[in-house]
Structure formats: structure tokens, C-alpha cells
Structure 1
Amino acid sequence: MKTIYYENRKIKETHFIADTCFDYYSERLRADDYRGNVTLFAEWLEEESQKNNFHKIIVKSKVDDVSYWQELGYVNEGEFKGYFNGGSAFAMCKYLKKERRNSEYWVDEDRILSDVIKIPKGAKNLPLPSNYLLRMADIQDAKSLAELYGEVFEVYPTPMNDAEYVRKMIESGTLFCVIEHENRIVSAASADVNETYNNAEITDCATTPEHRKFGLMKHLIDQLEKELFQRNIYCSYSIARALSFGMNAVFHQKSYVYKGRLANNCKIFDKYEDMNIWVKDLSV
């Protein structure tokens, strides 16, 4: 029996409707969109979180509702600028367990971010070596992509090491860009497209250790941005492990702007990790 990592649910109640994600693996409840009575919706979120033993609630709030969520005890952990067809989404968060709220690594992550921001933006990519091939992926690549993610990540918030799961992602519209070396995928990244609000999350960034010295991820991100721009999607964002100097440096150099940090947001490797929000306006 396969583990259920998460479940997307459309909620329709008398006084509100919402698009939610029940994230069983990372023990959190996320609302990506909602409309209606904020107070009643907040009560529902807390009840469902307690039923499922979730420790964190995340609501993507429109700017006009931020003060309502703050009055209900939510904390603003960051901004997804341009998320709602040009309007910002704010990550309003509430914790139901003190251990989930407290981050052991916050000061270290501040130091990493400070070092990252000192790096000049817009540095040119290293040329892609002649024996590496960059291309967009298709369904036939699902197995190879799953093998890559299984090799790079021992623990990951979604089952990217499952070829069937990856295949369904590609079929549902997620864009994958890959780099091959000797007919083997050695680096990949994806753009998870939200067609309702015309934004995309750059995610699932992975490179095998022996190929990390060539700056392959920058080439992948450039190509994904071109694909998004052609689809008139101008809000590109990512959440990167706050403890990873390398990935944060990549987004900073690619002119993404730091917009906040999500505390103990999801399970990666051996623990809950804080995640930095990076946002870019592709129309500029």
C-alpha cells in the first residue's frame, strides 16, 4: 500500500469555499485560495488540523485579508508577489505545537542569507559543456527522472522517486527541464504551473553530486523561465532550503528577490526545514 503524501481538496461550505492541501507527510494544512467568511474558515482549518494531527496551517491570503488573519493569531511569514494574477499572496501561518514553531537554525540561516545577498546579481552562466544536452522532458522521461530524485534525495516532501507520480505530474501540466550526460539525466528542475492565477513554482531542483561544479541549475531555470514567459506567466517563485547556500545563491543570482522564510515548513532529509521564499517578475 502506497503512502499518501498529500491530498488536494476543494472545500464547499455554506459560508466559504476553498482550495486546500492536506499534507499528511509534512503534517500541515495549506489553503491556496479561499473566498467567504474568514472567521468561520479559520475555525474549520483549526478543527481539520486537530483531527489530522497537523501542527502548522498556511493560508495564502490576499492583501485585504492580512489584518483579519493577524487578528486570529496568524503570523505573516512572507510574500508571493504577483501570485494572484499580479496581486500578492501572503503566507499567513499558525502553529498548533510549540516544537513546530521554534527553529533551531534561524540565526545560521540569517547568516547564510546575508552571505548570499552579497553575491552580485546577474552573473553569467558557465557555458554548458559540449557533452551535456539541455532539453524539455516528456512522459517517456518519468522513469529516469524518478531515478534521479531517488538518488539525490533520501527523504523528500513528495514521492518524486515514483515514476508513476512523475508521469502524472507531466500529464497534468508540470514542466520539467533536464540536462543529460552520456544519455543519462543528471540534473532536473520543474515548473509547477497554476493556470488559474498564472503563476509557477520552480521546484524539484536536483543535480547528482558529481555534476554540480558546472552550474547546471542556472541553465535549467533559464529555460523554464523562457517556457513560462511564452505562456504569458510572469510570476515565478520558489521556496529553497534556508540552510542551502548553493540553491539560495542560484535564485539570488538569477534576480529572484527574497520575500520571507517559512519556519519548519516541510520534511526534507532528516528533519523539518525552514524554507526561503524567492520571487521574480518575468515581465520585467
Structure 2
Amino acid sequence: MDIVEERIQLSRSTLHITLDRFNKRVRVEDYLGNLQECIDESLKVAEKISAEKIIFKARKENVPELLGRGFLYEGSIDKFFLGSDCYFLVKYTNVERRNSSYWVKEDQILASVQRLPLKVGVDTPPSSYHGRMADETDAVKLAGLYRTVFEVYPTPMNDPLYVKKCMENGTVFYIFEHEGVIVSAASAEINDFYHNAEITDCATLPEYRQYGLMKHLIEKLERHLVSHGIYCIYSIARSLSFGMNAVLHQHGYRYRGRLANNCFIFDKMEDMNLWVKNHT
């Protein structure tokens, strides 16, 4: 697989890192011990797989040291580490990956989104649409949905075995069905140790987008997460997508930065907006 998680034990530290060859990046998910040793190792791993971007999920007290090593701030997640904030510090290995062709357009989209009023409640979809939590028997249909909506996606969600593996690892999916077809879906990838979750894998077939199904799915996921003691909830949305950013903004999520050229999604390498909501 092009995306592999590793836990590396060093002489004075431990590093939990994701090697993402498909998206040409390395992501430091967690670390403990000597920070400089962790930084050195992440850079070595990035060079080994020819990664163009290194993402370090850093604690507040470590931000100055990372800035001192040439990392740049791109965003943050409030209360990510059991109540402490997480900061996305990044380093690029080539100028093409650093520069974004759509940055100004994305600023304009964000400004338009943030002018929208927050919504209290959501409209009820037609009675022929059935919303529920998905299970492993839905993996084939879910993979078909993602295959139809996204020409390119940063993880292999078009593979039923991968979808099933996500469920086995604790990811929760909610779906809407219409006449036996899954027409909309979203998931919550849960970190039980730090009590946070990412709302992700949001997809609706184009011909069904007029019913606001995604707003209902996010609401259902939030209720599920809060009932299981998960209060820090975040999502990473395509910066060029007015609709998805609008859904998050109107649900009370707060914009916390933009990850430049973060991953391959939809039809190209794209910038991603970071949105956060805390139920505390």
C-alpha cells in the first residue's frame, strides 16, 4: 500500500509517522522524547521516499524549535491533544509543492463562505431518503460511491477492502440511501487516545446535492462522537469547494488555516482548509 503508518523507536525518542508515497508526503502523527532527534528522523524518512512535504503535528511548546529548523506554520486544531492545541508545522523539499496557483481564488471562496449566516437546525430530506450508520456489508456500495464522486482521492476509498479495514479500525460511517443506492456518505476517523475525531470521506452524488444530505450526516456523526466522549472534532475540506466549506462553516466549525498542496483529491493536487469544532 502507498500509505503506511510506522512507530519508530530512536535512542532518545519515539516517533509515530505516516509514510504517504501516493501524496508524496510524510506526516508526523505523534512523538515523545527528544524533539531534535524526531525532526532529524522525519527528514531522513522524507528523503528516503522522495517526499515533497513533511507535516509535523506539533504541541505548542515545540513550535519555536520547529520554526528554528525551517518549518512553516499552516494551521492548528484546538484541543487536539486531550485539551491542548495541535499546530501543523510543515517543510517543503521543492518550490513547486510550496507554491499554490489557486491561493487568491481560495481566499475569495473562504470570504464568501464566512459571510454566510450560521444555521440552526437543518431541513428534513424527502421521506424516500433513509439515513443510518453503515456497517461492513455496505463496503462495496461505499467504495462505488467514492469511485463515482472522486476521480482521484488521497486514500483508496474506492477499494471495498480498504473501506472495511477502516471500519474494523474504528472509523464510523453514516450514509443516506435512496431506493437501495448509497447517495451520500461521511465518516469520523476517531483517535481514542487523544479523544478527537476527523470528519472525512464526505461525498454526495451530484444529482442528490440539492437536499442538504451532508449537513444531516455531519450532525449524526457529531451526536455519535459526543455520546462517546469525543469533543474535539475537525475536518479538512478542499479549499476550492464552496459547498463543503459552507457546510462546515454553517455547522459552527471555525477556520484554522490552509494546508498548501496537501494531497491529490478530485482531479489534482489541492490545498485543503482546516475547520475545527469543540463540544466543550
Shorter-chain TM-score tier: over 0.9
Structure 2 residue 51 is matched with structure 1 residue 54: yes
Between 87-96 and 115-124, the greater mean CA deviation after superposition: 115-124
Q: How far apart, CA to CA, are the structure 2 residues paired with 1:116 and 1:29?
A: 30
Number of the residue aligned with 2:89: 92
Q: Deviations over 1:100-149 (max 9, x none)?
A: 00001101000000000000012431211110001000111111101111
- Name the structure 1 match of 2:155: 158
Q: 1:248 aligns with which of 245, 248, 251?
A: 245
Equivalence for 1:105? 102
Distance 1:131 1:110 in 2: 38
SS for the counterpart of 1:222 is: helix
Of the three residues 258, 272, 275, the one matched with 1:275 is: 272
Alignment of 1:266 with 2:254, yes or no, is no
Distance 1:48 1:57 in 2: 10
Is structure 2 residue 160 aligned with structure 1 residue 170? no
Q: Which amino acid aligns with 2:61?
A: D
**1:43-82 deviation line (CA, Å, top 9, x unaligned):** 1111111111100000100010011100010111111111
Which residue in the other structure is 2:19 paired with? Answer: 22
| SS at 2:124 equivalent | coil
Which residue does 1:205 correspond to in 2? 202
Q: Secondary structure at the match of 1:251?
A: helix
Provide the C-alpha distance between the structure 2 equivalents of 1:113 and 1:270, rounded to a whole number of angstroms: 20
The aligned residue for residue 114 of structure 1 is 111
Alignment of 1:58-69 (within 5 A): 58-69=55-66
Distance apart, 1:37 and its partner CA:
1.6
Matched, 1:183 2:186: no
The answer to whether the 8 A contact 2:150-2:267 is kept is: no
Pair 1:224 & 2:221 matched: yes
Please tell me whether residue 194 in structure 1 is matched to residue 194 in structure 2: no
Q: Distance in 1 between matches of 2:143 and 2:278?
A: 30
Q: Distance in 1 between matches of 2:74 and 2:67?
A: 11
* TM-score, structure 1 normalization: 0.97
CA-to-aligned-CA distance 1:172-207 (integer Å, 9 cap, x gap): 110000000011110000000001100000000000
Partner of 1:257: 254
Residue aligned with 2:194, SS:
coil
- Contact 1:176–1:191, Cα closer than 8 Å, also in 2: yes
Equivalent residue, structure 2, for 1:134: 131
TM normalised by structure 2 equals 0.98
Q: Does 1:148 align with 2:165?
A: no
After superposition, the CA RMSD in angstroms is 0.8
Runs of 4+ in 1 over 6 A off after TM superposition: none
Structure 2 Cα separation of the partners of residues 163 and 108 of structure 1: 35
Is residue 139–residue 167 contact of structure 1 (8 Å, CA) maintained in 2? yes
